[in-house]
Structure 1
Amino acid sequence: MSDYDQSLWLNTCREHVESAPLTSDLSVDLAVIGGGYTGCSAALTAARAGATVCVLEAQEIGHGGSGRNVGLVNAGLWVRPADICAHLGDADGTRLIEILAAAPSEVFSVIQTHGIECEPMRKGTLHCAHSGSGLADLKIRHAQLRQAGAPVELLSSDKTYQRTGSATFRGALFDPRAGTIQPMAYVRGLARAAAATGARVHTHSPVMTMRHVDGQWLLETPQATVRAKSVIQATNAYHRNLPDTAPAYVPVSYFQFTTAPLSDNLRASILPGTEGCWDTGLIMTSFRMDHDGRFILGAMGNLEHAGSAAHTGWIKRKLSELYPQLADQPLQQGWHGRIAMTSDHIPKITRIGPDAVSIHGYSGRGIGPGTVFGRMAAESLLAGDPALLPVPAVAEHTERWTRLRHAYFETGAALTHLIKAR
Structure 2
Amino acid sequence: MATERPLPNLWHATAPAAPETGPLTGDRTADVAIVGGGFTGLSAALHLAELGVKATLVEAQTIGHGGSGRNVGLVNAGMWVKPDDLVATLGPAAGDRLLAELGDGPSLVYELVAKHGIACEAVRKGTLHMAVGAHGLRELREREAQWKRRGAPVEVLSDEKAHALSGAEGFSGALLDRRAGTIQPLAYARGLARAALDAGAEIFTNTPLLAADRKGDLWKLAAGDGSLTAPHVIVATDAYGSLVDGAPWRAQTQELTILPYFQFATNPLQEDVASRILPERQGAWDTGLVMTSFRMDQQNRLIFGSIGRLDAIAEGTHRAFATRSVRKLFPYIGDFRFEYWWDGRIGMTANNLPVMHLLAPNVVSVGGYNGRGIAPGTVFGRALARYVVGDATAVPLAETPVTPDPWRNLKSAFYHIGAQAKHLIDRRF
Q: Same fold (TM over 0.5)?
A: yes
Residue 287 (structure 1) aligns with = 294
Is there any run of 5+ residues in structure 2 with no aligned partner, and where? Answer: none
- SS of the aligned residue for 1:70 comes to coil
Equivalent runs, 1:2-41 vs 2, <5 Å? 2=4, 4-41=6-43
CA deviation string 1:374-393 (max 9, x = no partner): 1101111112x321112112
Instruction: Call closer, same or farther: CA 1:299–1:160 in 2, change over 3 Å.
Output: same
* Kept after mapping to 2: 8 A contact 1:15/1:189: no
Alignment-mate amino acid for residue 12 of structure 2: L
Residue 291 of structure 1 deviates from its aligned partner by 1.2
Counterpart secondary structure, 2:332: helix
Partner of 1:129: 131
Counterpart position of 2:340: 333
Change (3 A) 1:3 1:162: farther
SS at match of 1:387: coil
Aligned partner of 2:148 in structure 1 is: 146
Q: 1:5 to 1:114 in 2, by over 3 A?
A: farther
Give distance in 1, aligned partners of 2:406 and 2:136: 28
Which range is displaced more, 129-138 or 168-177?
129-138
- Counterpart CA distance in 2 for 1:133 and 1:86 is 22
Q: Is the 8 A contact 1:346 1:363 kept in 2?
A: yes
Q: Supply the RMSD in Å over aligned alpha carbons.
A: 1.3
| 1:351 partner amino acid | L
Q: Is the 8 A contact 2:211 2:248 kept in 1?
A: no
Deviations 1:92-135 (A, max 9, x none): 00000000111000000000101111010001000001122111
SS of the counterpart of 2:31? strand
SS of residue matched to 1:314: helix
**CA shift for structure 1 position 4:** 4.7
**Corresponding position of 1:390:** 396
For 1:131 and 1:337, how far apart are their aligned partners in 2?
28
Matching of residue 312 in structure 1 with residue 319 in structure 2: yes
**1:264 equivalenced with 2:266 (yes/no):** no
Paired position in structure 2 for 1:61: 63
Rounded Cα–Cα distance in structure 2 between residues aligned with 1:250 and 1:148: 31
Partner of 1:91: 93
| Alignment partner, residue 379 of structure 1 | 386
- The question of whether the paired residues in 1 share the 8 Å contact of 2:169 and 2:328 is answered with no
Aligned counterparts of 1:270 and 1:281: Cα–Cα separation in 2: 20
Alignment correspondent of 1:418: 424
Corresponding residue of 1:191? 193
Q: Which runs of 5+ in 1 are unaligned?
A: none
The Cα offsets for residues 1-32 of structure 1, whole Å up to 9 and x where unpaired, read as 84555100001011421100001111100000
Question: Take 2:215 and 2:132, find their aligned partners in 1: how far apart are those partners?
Answer: 54
1:252 matched to 2:275: no
**Structure 1 pair 144–85 and aligned structure 2 pair: CA distance change class (3 A):** same
Instruction: Using the TM superposition, give the Cα deviation of residue 292 of structure 1 relative to its aligned residue in structure 2, in angstroms.
Output: 1.5
Who is 1:79 aligned against? Answer: 81
Specify whether residues 178 and 4 from structure 1 end up closer, same or farther in structure 2 by C-alpha distance, changes over 3 A only.
farther
Q: 1:245 to 1:303 in 2, by over 3 A?
A: closer
Partner residue, 1:164: 166
Measure how far apart 1:243 and its partner are. Answer: 5.0
Amino acid corresponding to residue 246 of structure 1 in structure 2? A
For the Cα contact (< 8 Å) 1:386–1:392, is it kept in 2?
no
Give, in angstroms, the shift of residue 244 of structure 1: 4.2
- Which position in structure 1 is the counterpart of 2:175? 173
How far off its partner does 1:295 sit? 0.6
Aligned-partner Cα distance in 2 for 1:73–1:41: 15
Instruction: Spell out, residue by residue over 1:268-324, the C-alpha distance to the aligned partner (whole angstroms, 9 max, x if none).
Output: 211111100000012110000001111100001000163322111101000100001
Q: Which residue of structure 1 aligns with residue 223 of structure 2?
A: 221
Task: Report how many residues are paired.
Answer: 421
Q: 1:167 offset after TM fit, Å?
A: 2.2
| Residues 220 and 226 in structure 1, CA contact (< 8 A), matched pair in contact too | yes
Q: Contact (CA 8 Å) 2:23, 2:224: kept in 1 or not?
A: no
For 2:140 and 2:312, how far apart are their aligned partners in 1?
Answer: 32
How many Å separate the matches in 1 of 2:312 and 2:184?
26
In structure 2, the CA distance between the partners of 1:342 and 1:305, relative to structure 1 (3 Å rule), is farther
For the residues of structure 2 that align with 1:323 and 1:152, how far apart are their CA atoms?
A: 25
For 2:295 and 2:118, the matched residues in 1 are separated by 20
The CA distance in 2 between the partners of 1:320 and 1:306, in whole Å, is 23
CA–CA distance in 1 between the matches of 2:331 and 2:50? Answer: 50
Cα distance in 2 for partners of 1:16, 1:222 equals: 20
- Alpha-carbon distance in 1 for matches of 2:158, 2:357: 42
| Whole-angstrom CA distance in 1 between matches of 2:301 and 2:89 | 39
Percent identity of equivalent pairs = 44
